[in-house]
Amino acid sequence: MDNNKSGLMKLDPMTPEAVKVKKIFWETEDVFTIELVYDSDEKREFSYKPGQFNMLYAFGVGESAISISSDSSKKNSLLHTIHKVGYVTNVLSKLKKGDIIGLRGPFGSSWPLEEAKGKDICIIVGGIGLAPLRPSIYHILKHRKQYGKFVLLYGARTPRDILYPVELESWRKKYDIQIEVTVDRADSTWRGHVGVVTTLLNYVELNPEKTMAMVCGPEIMMKYAVDELIKHGVTEKEIYVSLERNMKCALGFCGHCQYGPSFVCKDGPVFSFSKVTDIFEIKEL
Amino acid sequence: MKTIDKSNLDKIIGILKKDGYTVIGPIVKDGAIVYDEIESINDLPVGWGDEQEAGSYKLVKRNDDSLFGYVVGPQSWKKFLFPQRMKLWEAGREGRGFKINHSDEPVPKYAFLGVRSCELKAIFIQDKVFNNDMYTDSYYNNVRNNIFIISVNCTQSASTCFCVSMKSGPKAKDGFDISLTEVINKEGHYFVLDEASEKGKELTEMLDAQTATEQQIKAADEAIASAELSMKRSMNTAGIKELLYHNHDHPNWAEIATRCLSCANCTLVCPTCFCHTMEDTTDLTGDHTERWRRWDSCFSLDYSKVAGGSFRTSAKARYRQWMTHKLASWIDQFGTSGCVGCGRCISWCPVGIDITSEVEKIRNSPKNKIINQ
Ligand code: SF4
Ligand code: SF4
């Protein structure tokens, strides 16, 4: 039998490391952000790529796979923006500054920011899907000259569900980026677009030959977004999606997150659409 | 090639035990042949055989006193390398945080006696699962690196076996320390022994082994050939990946779903199925917690659950996931089929669903989307 090239791992990949909650705050009614730092060693740095995720462990309760939403060039702390939907995320939402939780990661594939150089970038996100793409947005804005036109299309349920509103505004002011936001249901204060996120494509000038798209959101929204992008002439291999599956180990061992031949945790979560075209259409795969 | 008699087989068990191995072999328990710790050859299923059909398994008395006269039972060796339930770590609350402790129990040192060729192949397959391109499962690999394997070639097949078509039997070709072929004929009751590893050679030197005569080798080969010749089932694997990938909407899946109970037996008995889940338990004080790993199955509804619901709610989608994974996507993931043709899933399916014939039904149906296979 083959021995692992690196021998046995020094750190058992199943054992969480202790990290401390530096800050925790609500972004919207049911979405919150936690900032984490290393508990013991102040000088240790977090290293990850935009699009990767961590397994966050609440003592005695369990783990949840959460994508990283901070700026990957700032290595002293990590931000996770979390939708409070299940048991673990509910417990995480009640943490206080100074509490210790467990962390395993980073895991998974990342957004193709190298391949994207020189291209126009079109990011389409729905709901919490903005969080896994925020590290990419930071990266592109920081290296703005390396990329062509930059468009961010974002759909939220209601105006009150819009994530990072202050940041969106400052990006719009400070950088060369076109940001279009739409909501499913408007209220009396809302002056912007209403409708599904794909309709926002009508407000941008895409140059399909040189556009790369990054899409993240509910699966049904991604499906429509991809269809729409293809209709606009963007090629399948230039479209990237981030998939969600049930993950337990994040190591490609437990089998839970299989998607056709892929383990979402290890081969994804970010996939080139051309790799998943066949199976994106099949129900219940 | 050498031959040994029964008393020398007993001696092997003794030597391995003295060497610190926990020797695991076949025993009769609750009406089936299962794998458990043995002390001597007296624990082996002397004179027992098994009769298997789709949906049925029965022990039967043989008219000889063979030690390995059965085929395969409901268990496989995976339960030792990849235990059904296992504590990964425990942790205690400390201040506003916690401290994780790992068990300091020594890694078990197992000798497996009676590993069938298909089972050996199943171990090779799980080797790839638990040592992927990025991570290593430390428990699996620590146990695996210590194992002493005595394979025993099959000299008969059950009606549910199809290892020949999966190229995984009935004769073990490599990966063992020692292999044995049991022969019972008018010349007596003996084992033709082949050693493959250094450890295997060292052990053989401690036995009263004779050099095998040409006749004895021939008798062993013929016994193995009879297992091959009597094999009734087979799996047509030609283009199977494409066949299954392109027939995910075939009506046969819905038809299987009318019979399948989603009981998960097939995944539990399968020697290559590796899916598992994590469970965190807490004591009443809430200050002590344990993380357990236990087998899970793609047939359970929770299996594909995410915050928004389950991805595979229908029995149809779950059976399709199981079979397509076993026979098709496994090839993309690990470069090998996930099936070794042991037939367990056929025998132990309460309603007798047969993986080989379900593939044929799709292949031969006019609705097959892949023509000319
Ligand atoms: S799928 Fe069935 S026949 Fe194939 S290895 Fe698993 S249990 Fe054996
Ligand atoms: S195929 Fe048979 S053994 Fe497998 S889940 Fe269905 S009923 Fe159970």
Judge if B248 and B223 occupy the same domain.
Answer: no
Residues B29 and B136 in one domain: yes
Q: Is residue A285 part of a domain?
A: no
Q: Of A45-49, A98-102, A241-245, B3-7, which gets the smallest average pLDDT?
A: A241-245
Residue B43 in domain: yes
In chain B, the percentage of residues whose pLDDT exceeds 90 is: 76
User: Is residue A4 pLDDT above 80, yes or no?
Assistant: no
pLDDT value, residue B308: 55
Say how far apart CA B59 and CA B348 lie, in whole Å: 14
For chain A, the average pLDDT equals: 88
What is the amino acid identity at position A125?
Answer: V
A276 and A245 share a domain? Answer: yes
| pLDDT value for A3 | 35
Q: Is the domain of B202 the same as that of B247?
A: no
A140 with A273, same domain: the answer is yes
Residues counted in chain B: 373
pLDDT band with cut points at 50, 70 and 90 for residue A267? confident
A105 vs B58, residue with greater confidence: B58
Whether residues A38 and A134 share a domain: the answer is no
A126 to chain B, minimum CA–CA distance in Å?
Answer: 15
**Residue B304 structure tokens:** 């594909």
Whether residue A6 is predicted with pLDDT greater than 50 in this model: the reply is no
Asked if pLDDT for residue B103 goes beyond 80, the answer is no
ipTM for the whole complex: 0.70
Q: A177-198: per-residue pLDDT in tens?
A: 999 999 999 999 999 999 999 9
Token pair recorded at residue A147: 């990329």
> Which of A41, A73, A107 finishes a domain?
A107
Percent of chain A with pLDDT over 70: 87
Distance B273 CA to ligand 1 centre (A): 9
Same domain, B149 and B37: yes
The verdict on residue B207 lying in a domain is yes
The answer to whether the Cα torsion of A261, A267, A273, A275 is positive or negative is negative
- Whether A3 maps to a domain, the answer reads no
Among candidate residues B187, B203, B229, the one where a domain is terminated: B229
Confidence of residue A15 (pLDDT cuts 50, 70, 90): confident
Structural domain boundaries enclosing B269: 240-372
Q: Are residues A25 and A74 located together in one domain of the fold?
A: yes
Nearest to A59 among B93, B296, B317 (CB): B93
* A91 & A147 share domain: no
Q: How far apart are CA B24 and CA B266, in angstroms?
A: 23
Domain match, B27 and B133 both: yes
Among B6, B8, B1, B15, CA closest to B208? B8
B117 in any annotated domain: yes
- Whether residues B97 and A100 touch (CB distance < 8 A) is answered with yes
Residues A138 and A102 in one domain: no
Rounded to whole angstroms, the Cα distance separating A123 from A270 reads: 13
| Ligand in nearest proximity to the CA of B353 | 2
Closest residue of chain B to A5, computed from CA coordinates: B133
Question: Any residues with CB less than 8 A from the CB of A35 and at least 6 apart, and which?
Answer: A21, A22, A23, A24, A70, A77, A78, A79
- Mean predicted lDDT score pLDDT of chain B: 92
CA A116 to CA A238: how far, in whole Å?
Answer: 9
A156 and A221, same domain (yes or no): yes
Query: Is A261 close to B333, i.e. CB distance below 8 A?
Result: yes
Which candidate from A86, A244, A254 shows the least CB-CB separation from B276? A254
Whether residue A270 lies inside any domain: the answer is: yes
- CATH number at A169 reads 3.40.50.80
Shortest CA gap B139–chain A (Å): 10
What three-state secondary structure class fits B371? coil
User: Please, which pLDDT band fits residue B372 given cuts at 50, 70 and 90?
Assistant: very low
Mean pLDDT, to the nearest integer, of A152-175? 97
Residue B278 corresponds to which tokens in the numbers above? 């994590």
C-alpha triplet A48, B292, A24: angle, nearest 5°: 45
- Say whether both A184 and A275 belong to one domain: yes
**B305 contacts A16? CB cut-off 8 A:** no
pLDDT tens-digit series, residues B1-30: 999 999 999 999 999 999 999 999 999 999
Residue partners of A16: CB distance under 8 A and separation at least 6 = A55, A57, A63, A102, A103, A104, B100
Q: What are the residues whose beta carbons fall under 8 Å from the beta carbon of A157, sequence distance 6 or more?
A: A127, A183, A184, A185
Residue where a domain terminates, one of B229, B249, B272: B229
Q: Kindly state whether residues A153 and A69 are assigned to the same domain.
A: no
Total domains present in chain A: 2
Cα distance between residue A140 and residue B221, in whole Å: 67
Together in a domain, B340 and B250: yes
> What pLDDT band is residue A10 in, cutting at 50, 70 and 90?
very low
- Minimum distance, in Å, between the CA of residue A285 and any CA atom of chain B: 7
User: For residue A53, what is the domain's CATH number?
Assistant: 2.40.30.10
The confidence score (pLDDT) of residue B132 equals 81
**CA contacts within 13 A on the Cβ side of B173:** 5
pLDDT at A248: 63
Residue-range definition of the domain harbouring residue A171: 120-280
Of these ranges, A198-207, A263-272, B100-109, the one predicted with the greatest mean pLDDT is A198-207
CA distance B259 to B316: 10
Q: Quick one: pLDDT band at residue B346, thresholds 50, 70, 90?
A: very high
Region B190-201: what's the mean pLDDT? 97
Residue whose entry in the numeric block shows the structure tokens 């939780």: A101
pLDDT of residue A7: 37
Assigned token pair, B275: 């899916």
* Structural domain contains residue B235: no
Do B170 and B245 reside in the same domain of the chain? no
List, for residues B136-160, the tens digit of each pLDDT value. 888 899 999 999 999 999 999 999 9
d(CA A251, CA A105): 10
Cβ <8 Å between B314 and A284: yes
Q: Is the model's pLDDT at A279 over the cut of 60? A: no
Rounded (5°) CA angle A259-B238-B321: 25
> Is it the case that residue B305 has pLDDT exceeding 70?
no
Highest mean pLDDT among A39-48, A49-58, B17-26, B311-320: B17-26
pLDDT tens for B229-248 read: 999 999 999 999 999 989 98
- Taking residues B32-53, report their average pLDDT: 97
Longest dimension (CA), chain B: 75
- Considering the domain boundaries, does residue A101 fall inside one? yes
Q: Name every protein residue with a CB atom under 6 angstroms from any ligand 2 atom.
A: B 260-266, 299, 349-351, 353
Atom of ligand 1 nearest to the CA of B343: 3
pLDDT over 50 (residue B217): yes
Question: Quick one: which H or E segment has residue B11?
Answer: helix B6-18
- How many angstroms separate the CA atoms of B209 and B212, rounded? 9
pLDDT average, residue stretch B183-189: 95
Q: Do residues B78 and B126 lie in contact, with contact meaning Cβ atoms separated by under 8 Å?
A: yes
Please state which of the ranges A10-14, A75-79, A168-172, A220-224 shows the lowest mean pLDDT.
Answer: A10-14
CB distance B97–A99 less than 8 Å? yes
Q: What is the pLDDT of residue B7?
A: 97
Contact (CB<8Å) B277/A61: no
Classify residue A1: in a domain, yes or no. Answer: no
Q: Give domain status of residue B126, yes or no.
A: yes
CB B371 within 8 A of CB B239: no
- Of B201, B229, B257, the one marking the end of a domain is B229
**pLDDT at A22 > cutoff 90:** yes
Does residue B233's CB lie within 6 angstroms of at least one atom of ligand 1? Answer: no
Q: Is A124 helix (H, G, I), strand (E, B) or coil?
A: strand
> What is the structure's pLDDT at A40?
73
Q: How many residues does chain A have?
A: 285
Joined tokens for residue A24: 């925790």
Is B234 part of a structural domain of the chain?
Answer: no
Residue A79 lies in a domain: yes
**What does the DSSP 8-state code read for residue B64?**
S
> Domain total for chain B?
2
For residues B292 and B278, the answer to whether their CB atoms sit within 8 Å is yes
Whether residues B195 and B110 fall in one domain? yes
Neighbours of A10 (CB within 10 A): 6
Report yes or no on whether pTM surpasses 0.90. Answer: no
Looking at the fold, whether A139 and A97 belong to one and the same domain comes out as no
**A9: pLDDT confidence band, cut at 50, 70 and 90?**
very low
List beta partners, residue A36.
Answer: A21, A78
CA distance, residue A188 to nearest chain B CA (Å): 30
Same domain, A133 and A38: no
From the CA of B259, give the closest atom in ligand 2: 7
